[in-house]
Structure formats: structure tokens, C-alpha cells
Amino acid sequence: MHRLGFHLVPFALCGRQYPWLLTRRVSNAAVTRARVYRPRAGVANLSMSGWGDNTVVERVERRIQEALNPQSLRVEPTFGDPNGAHVNIRVVGECFQGKRLVARHQMVYRAIWKEMDAGVVHAVDSLETLTPEEANK
């Protein structure tokens, strides 16, 4: 059916009650596992070589520093690669005073959301958000 310009999705992938579901029209796009991959408009190229001199770790540190102004900040790549997409973050700041854990994490994720949305940061493997009193214990 691909010759006709349509792509059929198997039952397991479509989640419907019909064994085959006629989906979107395909035109000169790479089709893999019933999904048409096209770059989103306005999103930068995800290759690490095109991002300039800053590493992923430096960009994440800068974003958190600008948004939260913490007393202490440590961003480390999970697998040792500074341009890796997995990071560990430890933030100590007065801005977390009186906030619950979920609200603290939301503040950090809000600060680095642009990097996560563009695909520069794929996952935050470890996130520690502490007040200065909690850090001194």
C-alpha cells in the first residue's frame, strides 16, 4: 500500500479495534515503525557539534544560575561526556526554603526546559534540591 502514498499501521501500534488502520499520507519521508519523522519547525538541529563552544553542562549551569541564583550548583554528566544528554544536578539555595520536593524540582526543570525541549538534555538522572540548612546536616 505504500506505493499508493498511504501507510498502514498494524493493530498493535494503532490501539484501535480494527486490525489495520489507514493513517496519514506519506510523502518522501522516512517511515519507521509507523511514525513519520520530520523535524519540528523552530527546533534547532540536535547534533552536538553545531551548538558552538558551550557544552551541555555549561548551558544547564548557566540556565539554573540565571533562574534560581543558588548558593551552590553542581551539574555533572552522567556518563562522563560533557556533551552527553544525561546529567546529574545538585542545587543548594535559599529559593527552596519552605517549598516541597515537587515544587523544588519543578523550579529546576522550568529553568532548563529549553534545553530539554530541544533535545539537548534527554534526562536528568539525579536531581538534588536542598536549602543551605539541609546541605549542612
- Cα–Cα distances in angstroms (integers) from residue 15 to residues 9, 21, 36, 105, in the given order: 10, 9, 17, 33
Q: Residue 31 is inside which H or E element, if any?
A: strand 31-32
98 residue type, one letter: G
Determine, yes or no, domain membership for 41: no
Question: What domain range is 11 assigned to?
Answer: 2-36
Span 60-114, pLDDT tens digits: 999 999 999 999 999 999 988 777 789 999 999 999 999 999 999 999 999 999 9
Determine, yes or no, domain membership for 42: no
Determine, yes or no, domain membership for 47: no
**Cell numbers given for 23:** 493513517
The verdict on 31 and 66 lying in the same domain is: no
The verdict on 115 and 68 lying in the same domain is: yes
Determine, yes or no, domain membership for 23: yes
* Averaged pLDDT for residues 47-55: 55
Q: Is the pTM of this model over 0.85?
A: no
Determine, yes or no, domain membership for 46: no
- Cα–Cα distances in angstroms (integers) from residue 40 to residues 8, 36, 118, 119, 136, in the given order: 23, 12, 10, 12, 45
**CATH number of the domain where residue 65 is located:** 3.30.300.90
- Cα–Cα distances in angstroms (integers) from residue 117 to residues 33, 84, 89, 128, in the given order: 23, 15, 18, 21
The verdict on 28 and 86 lying in the same domain is: no
Determine, yes or no, domain membership for 57: yes
80 half-sphere exposure, CB direction, 13 A CA radius: 0
The verdict on 15 and 80 lying in the same domain is: no
- Cα–Cα distances in angstroms (integers) from residue 89 to residues 73, 74, 76, 104, 110, in the given order: 8, 6, 7, 12, 14
Determine, yes or no, domain membership for 44: no
Confidence check: pLDDT of 10 > 60: no
Confidence check: pLDDT of 27 > 90: no
What CA–CA distance (Å, rounded) separates 111 from 118?
Answer: 14
Number of domains in the chain: 2
Determine, yes or no, domain membership for 19: yes
